[in-house]
């Protein structure tokens, strides 16, 4: 047999290959890895999950093991719908929610529902690399819009929309943006919302990190400004457990929601109901906010420690954006050194970072990189950043030769 795979699957996948090679290199136990984005397992509510599981199997055992509906467990969807009030979005109903196999599946579903080959889509520049990967499955023309310290560049957003009136959607992460960690200011949120409201774009708001704000103030979801023009993605991965793969789309547009449901029904029928029931039981019997408080205290301490180490060990010329939440810091090297050079040199010394390249649709050999603080010990953070500092110095010295 001569295997004849699809043209689609044979396309190069810069994001996928780049990050797979970094994560593989970082997987060795001798490496201090700041490359990934894992929650700290200390934050997992293991005992509470044990109690919830026992209750579910005793009271709803057959339901937990049987086939279930594509849309997801109603009590879990009702909980999610209510949660939107904390983000300034009122009137969301359980019926607006589709439970997905992690919010990552939501990206693929929306790509399938919206994008034909060549269709234009807008993203922040840089943006979440898996979103790029996922949208690439559908062959779009990607139009990146710069993100500034206070959020998306509204002038560029306006220009891009004007120049591309048929673009299908914009994908944004207004809170602790991945990779930059930036949060849109209130002024930018309001201006961007007004620009988007006047446009024909569907707005996809991804929001895995807003619950992890440990200082400063966030802002309302675009769903509060834009109603059903805005689809909101969410996930329990960063606040309860990523291993359960439970995310969601909040889609208040009925026509789109019906198509997303058809698509998911064909793609994998439904998200595992066992974990949906366990999670719903956990949420009923525990105070999630209290749990999140503990996680935030942990991450605040980690973030502050990492920032202190960066101030101490990184040479002048290397800058970074201080963070108020989430799981990442975003740093920029001085001219003359690329993040890939730093990645390679630091890896030889046992430290892994994630160079910025895969977060950009077009830019390559960039000077930005992302580092994760949520899942390292304090010692590993200090050692790792010290080594990064040394490596930067060496590269800076040799670039000036």
Site for a second copy in 61-100 (CB under 8 A): 61-68, 100
Query: Dihedral of CA 54/59/65/70: which sign?
Result: negative
Our finding on whether 285 is near a second copy (CB under 8 A) is no
Residue 81 CB partners (closer than 8 Å, separation 6+): 92, 93, 94, 96, 97, 250
Of positions 268, 284, 285, 335, contacts a second copy by CB under 8 A: 268
Name the residue with tokens 């997303």. 260
Cβ 322 to a second copy shortest distance, Å: 26
CA–CA gap between residue 288 and residue 297 (Å, rounded): 14
- Is 134 a binding residue for a second copy by CB under 8 A? The answer is yes
**Positions 211 through 230 that interact with a second copy (CB under 8 A):** 229
Residues 6+ apart with CB under 8 A from 116: 138, 139
* Residue the block writes with tokens 């990523």: 242
If one counts every other C-beta atom within 10 angstroms of the C-beta of residue 187, the result is: 12
Q: Please state, in angstroms and rounded to a whole number, the distance separating the CA atoms of residues 111 and 118.
A: 12
Write out the binding residues for a second copy, residues 286-345 only, by CB under 8 A: none
Verify binding: residue 191, a second copy, rule CB under 8 A: no
Q: Of 269, 301, 364, 377, which lies in the binding site for a second copy, with binding defined by CB under 8 A?
A: 269
Tokens of 263: 């698509």
- Residues numbered 227 to 266 that lie near a second copy (CB under 8 A) are 229, 237, 240-246, 253, 255-256, 259, 262-263, 265-266
- Please list every residue from 20 through 59 that binds a second copy, using CB under 8 A: 20, 38-39, 41, 44, 46-47, 49-50, 53-54, 57-58
CB of 357 to a second copy, least distance (A): 17
Toward a second copy, which CB reaches closer, 199 or 338? 199
CB 236 within 8 A of CB 49: no
Nearer to a second copy, 17 or 289 (CB): 17
* Smaller CB separation from a second copy, 102 or 218: 102
Q: Restricting to residues 155-174, name those near a second copy by CB under 8 A.
A: 166, 168
Phi and psi at 145, nearest 5°, equal: -120, 125
Q: Are 219 and 176 in contact (CB under 8 A)?
A: no
Contact characters 382-401, a second copy, x per CB under 8 A: --------------------
Please state the closest distance from residue 312 (CB atom) to a second copy, in A: 30
């Amino acid at each position: 047999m001569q295997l004849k795979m699809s043209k689609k699957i044979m396309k190069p996948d810069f994001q996928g290959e780049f990050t797979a090679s970094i994560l593989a290199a970082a997987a060795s136990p001798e490496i201090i890895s700041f490359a990934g984005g894992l929650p700290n397992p200390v934050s997992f509510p293991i005992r509470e999950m044990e109690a919830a599981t026992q209750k579910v199997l005793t009271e709803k055992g057959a339901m937990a093991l049987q086939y279930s509906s594509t849309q997801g467990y109603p009590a879990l969807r009702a909980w999610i719908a209510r949660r939107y009030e904390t983000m300034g979005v009122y009137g969301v109903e359980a019926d607006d929610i589709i439970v997905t196999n992690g919010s990552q599946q939501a990206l693929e579903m929306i790509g399938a529902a919206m994008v034909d080959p060549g269709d234009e889509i807008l993203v922040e520049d840089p943006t979440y690399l898996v979103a790029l990967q996922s949208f690439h499955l559908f062959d779009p023309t990607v139009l990146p819009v710069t993100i500034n310290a206070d959020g998306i560049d509204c002038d560029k957003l306006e220009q891009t929309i004007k120049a591309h009136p048929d673009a299908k959607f914009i994908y944004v992460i207004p809170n602790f943006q991945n990779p930059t960690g930036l949060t849109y200011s209130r002024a930018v949120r309001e201006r961007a919302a007004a620009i988007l409201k006047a446009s024909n774009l569907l707005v996809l708001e991804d929001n895995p990190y807003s619950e992890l704000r440990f200082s400063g103030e966030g802002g309302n979801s675009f769903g509060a400004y834009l109603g059903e023009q805005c689809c909101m993605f969410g996930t329990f991965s960063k606040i309860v457990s990523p291993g359960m793969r439970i995310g969601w789309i909040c889609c208040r547009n009925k026509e789109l929601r019906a198509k997303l449901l058809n698509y998911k029904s064909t793609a994998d029928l439904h998200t595992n109901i066992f974990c949906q029931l366990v999670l719903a039981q956990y949420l009923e019997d525990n105070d999630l906010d209290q749990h999140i408080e503990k996680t935030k205290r942990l991450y605040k301490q980690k973030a502050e420690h990492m920032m202190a180490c960066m101030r101490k060990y990184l040479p002048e010329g290397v800058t970074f954006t201080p963070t108020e939440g989430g799981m990442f810091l975003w740093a920029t090297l001085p001219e003359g050194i690329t993040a890939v050079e730093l990645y390679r040199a630091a890896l030889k010394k046992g430290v892994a970072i994630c160079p910025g390249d895969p977060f950009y649709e077009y830019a390559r050999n960039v000077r930005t990189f992302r580092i994760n603080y949520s899942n390292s010990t304090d010692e590993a953070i200090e050692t790792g950043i010290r080594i990064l500092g040394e490596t930067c110095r060496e590269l800076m010295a040799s670039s000036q030769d």
